[in-house]
Structure 1
Amino acid sequence: MSSPPTLNVYRHDTGNRAMVTLTGEIDLSSAPLVHASLERCLRDGIRAVDVDGTTVTLCDCSGFNAFLYALMHTAAAGESLQLHHPSPALERLVVLTGSGSLFLALPDVFAGSRPPPWPSPVHQAAHRLAPALPALPGGVL
């Protein structure tokens, strides 16, 4: 019997910006690790989180839910989260859900180190997305 697929999370901070690299499968069992890792960035004072998804081999709806949750929390805190180099698995989810503008094309609003006005366009977009993805009981998309 083979061992279950794993997810590895690597984080590299530069000032108040973090690059989080995800390697492996994001599913129901590993989505909490994604969620915890991205939340930890916020607790550590990171203002811009860049997620490298190049080597994500699978991402199911629970993994996507972890990304949406992190996106809404970073936007609510006046911070940013951006997905870079999505693997085919991540890109498929982004395309199917029409969420590319939320994850892939966010401007670097922290170049001048001042957060955007509240509510930010990202926060407004995240709220427009919510009705299109109804949550099941338990909060999982």
Structure 2
Amino acid sequence: MAATAYSPGRISASPFPTAGATPAAPAYSPLFTDAAGRLSVRAVRAGSRPRIRISGEIHFDTVPALRTALETLTAGKPRAVDLDLGAVTFMDCSGLNALLELRRRGLATGFPVRLRAASWPVLHLLDLCDALPLLTRRPPPVGP
């Protein structure tokens, strides 16, 4: 499958097949990349729970493409979102902000965001900012 360069006009509003029943095999989303190819984002979905795999560099220059990909891949209000950041080679505070925005949006709309795999640069930043518990434990119950 060919990579989709970051461009608002080229990102599909429906990244997963919607016709018919849930496929027996996982469905793969299009590959989202930034213009320079430093970041790639793809989701594998089996049922209503996507596992979003992010690889490459997450920093100030690549975060706009990451935000667009995350918004597109979670537009169908999934039951939950699993993040696989095991192939991320670098992440700065703008990348952390994008992940925390996804978590906030998930809490507001009813889907938890969970970190399932992370590289050392990601774990190091999350640990320094004391943000690791926000992405690795279940969210608190919502209600009165």
Q: TM-score, structure 1 length as denominator?
A: 0.70
Residue 56 in structure 1 maps to residue 88 in structure 2: yes
Q: Which one has a larger percent helix, Structure 1 or Structure 2?
A: 1
What residue is the counterpart of 1:112 in the other structure? none
Q: CA RMSD in A?
A: 2.0
The one of 107, 119, 133 equivalent to 1:87 is 119
Q: Which has the higher contact order (CA 8 A, sep 6+)?
A: 1
Greater CA deviation, 98-107 or 56-65?
98-107
The 4+ residue runs of structure 1 with deviation greater than 4 A are none
1:72, 1:92 → 2: CA distance? 21
Greater CA deviation, 28-37 or 17-26?
28-37
Q: Which residue identity lines up with residue 43 of structure 2 in the other structure?
A: R
The one of 22, 44, 52 equivalent to 1:12 is 44
Q: TM-score, structure 2 length as denominator?
A: 0.69
- Percent sequence identity is 31
* Unaligned ranges ≥5, structure 1: 110-115, 120-141
1:5, 1:11 → 2: CA distance? 17
1:105, 1:117 → 2: CA distance? 15
Any idea what SS the aligned residue of 1:28 has?
coil
Residue 25 in structure 1 maps to residue 69 in structure 2: no
1:65, 1:101 → 2: CA distance? 15
Residue 117 in structure 1 maps to residue 142 in structure 2: yes
2:108, 2:57 → 1: CA distance? 28
Q: Which residue identity lines up with residue 97 of structure 1 in the other structure?
A: C
The one of 96, 99, 109 equivalent to 1:77 is 109
Deviations 1:81-129 (A, max 9, x none): 111221111101110011121112237x9xxxxxx5347xxxxxxxxxx
CA contact (8 A) 1:51 1:84 kept: yes
